Amino acid sequence: GAVVSQHPSRVICKSGTSVKIECRSLDFQATTMFWYRQFPKKSLMLMATSNEGSKATYEQGVEKDKFLINHASLTLSTLTVTSAHPEDSSFYICSAADSLSGANVLTFGAGSRLTVL
């Protein structure tokens, strides 16, 4: 089945630094990937839609300059949290659907837990 890999699974950084999280579709191509954020014991909140070869589409209230998204290939999207602060600490999850299968079934990555000190 379709597999989405996220890296790193856990990252701790100092306040003010930037952190990059990768989302890869391992055995399929994804022209679109989605980035979610999840706080403890809360639901997933869609942050942005990552579009291969074009700009990401951000949800209302999500800072574009804070959360940089790059989707340079059909199998890789990256989320960079710039100048991270403790309030950016969260569980970040990406998802993707096979562009060719037409099944419309999203596969989620295992998530990346960011802790900003």
Partner 1 sequence: GESVGLHLPTLSVQEGDNSIINCAYSNSASDYFIWYKQESGKGPQFIIDIRSNMDKRQGQRVTVLLNKTVKHLSLQIAATQPGDSAVYFCAENGPGGYNKLIFGAGTRLAVHP
Assess 108 for contact with partner 1 (CB under 8 A).
yes
DSSP codes joined into one string, 29-46: --SEEEEEEE-TTS-EEE
Nearer to partner 1, 4 or 84 (CB): 4
Tokens of 84: 């991270």
Binding mask 50-69 for partner 1 (x = CB under 8 A): -------x------------
Place of tokens 């990059």: 20
CB of 65 vs partner 1, minimal distance in Å: 22
Residue 3 half-sphere exposure, CB side, CA atoms within 13 Å? 4
Tokens of 17: 């630094």
Q: List residues binding partner 1 (CB under 8 A).
A: 4, 6, 32, 34, 36, 42-46, 49, 57, 93, 95, 97, 104-111, 113
